[in-house]
Amino acid sequence: MKSLLKIAGAALALSIGFAGHSFAADYPTKDIRMVIPWGAGGGTDGIVRKLSTIAEKEIGQSIYAENIEGGISATGVMQVMKARPDGYTIGSLTYDSVVTVPWQGLLPTYKLEKLKLIARVTSEPDAILVSSDAPYKSVADLIAAAKENPGSIKVAIQNTGSRLHLAMLQFQEKTGTEFKLVAYPGGAAPQKEAILSNEVDVVATSMGDFSALIEGGDVRGLVEFSDSRNPTFPDVPTAKEEGVDLQIGSFIVLAAPADTPDDVVAKIEASYKAALESDEFQEWVSKVGVSPNWLGTDEVTAWAKDTQKTLFDQMQALVDQGVIKK
């Protein structure tokens, strides 16, 4: 009897093993759901839809987008976390998904460990811009002027405690400078008014948000906080080129439920990598002010955790100083 039980158990184990192998080998056999945790028509939505349209040609099944808004992306992230880990539900994460949601506790059960990060696909670095007639011809000029007169150069950020605020705090720390940071809540529009009316000398923002003013010759970029040049603004140097070790900005990361099989994730990763590198996507993205910035499965989790820790530490310091509330 014991021998029969052992044989039955071994047969069951083998059947499970072969079934798992067959599943991964045959994947995908049906449509794949891509959760976008923001509304239709936004920047993230457009990029993820474009990539997915190309990636589905590589993977051999349709990848359909589903916009699930709410909670600064928390609602959509939760949908991905709770989905079956079979590769048929994946999602897109942004800065808020990785930083804001866990920092503010908007999804108490959320940790990066409950997701399997597939890849970072794009980034839109934060940048420093100045008016076209500003005396600073390079970021080195700006740093030198700030060191000569600490606290005198006004820089428009957005909300206090925002990503742009943190970007400038890191820039000050890494360059040994001090600026007068002026908050303009409400996005890029108040910042545009501030620099056009000469209320401030400098703006911390993204190149894409100021593209019309750049093209009109009203402002120019000094530096982007990135390690690769933006194809839409190729004349603007990166922080890395300028000797400043700073990479910060918005980004898009693809993710799956935590227990999704590695070989299934590898197929998804390969399809999106091919899509990102395609002539079709490269030509399209060169016109929208966002940089393709691939980081694969083996590296993206460590990058995301490092990004979280750095920004959490920055925000906690602001809380301790009474600048923001958690």
**Is pLDDT at 238 greater than 60 in this prediction?**
yes
**Is pLDDT at 123 greater than 90 in this prediction?**
no
Strands 154-157, 180-183: pairing is parallel
Instruction: Find which of 68-72, 79-83, 109-113, 288-292 is predicted with most confidence, using mean pLDDT.
Output: 79-83
Q: What distance in Å separates the CA atoms of residue 123 and residue 256, rounded to the nearest whole number? A: 19
Given the candidates 2.40.37.10, 3.40.47.10, 3.40.50.12160, 3.40.190.10, the CATH classification of the domain at 124-248 is: 3.40.190.10
For 41-60, the DSSP string reads TSHHHHHHHHHHHHHHHHHS
Q: What distance in Å separates the CA atoms of residue 7 and residue 52, rounded to the nearest whole number? A: 46
Residues of the chain with CATH 3.40.190.10: 124-248
**Is pLDDT at 6 greater than 70 in this prediction?**
no
pLDDT of residue 23: 56
8 confidence band (pLDDT: 50, 70, 90): very low
**Is pLDDT at 4 greater than 50 in this prediction?**
no
SS3 at position 252: strand
pLDDT of residue 160: 81
CATH class of 2-123+249-317: alpha beta
Kindly state the percentage of the chain with pLDDT values over 90. 65
**The model's pTM:** 0.78
**Contact indicator for 96, 163 with CB cutoff of 8 Å:** no
**Is pLDDT at 212 greater than 60 in this prediction?**
yes
Strands 115-131, 249-257: pairing is antiparallel
- Backbone torsions φ then ψ of 255, nearest 5 degrees: -145, 160
**Is pLDDT at 171 greater than 50 in this prediction?**
yes
pLDDT of residue 296: 97
147 confidence band (pLDDT: 50, 70, 90): very high
For 151-164, the DSSP string reads T-SEEEESSTTSHH
**Is pLDDT at 250 greater than 80 in this prediction?**
yes
Mean pLDDT of the chain: 89
Lowest mean pLDDT among 11-25, 62-76, 128-142, 236-250: 11-25
**Is pLDDT at 64 greater than 90 in this prediction?**
yes
Instruction: Give the CA diameter of the chain.
Output: 90
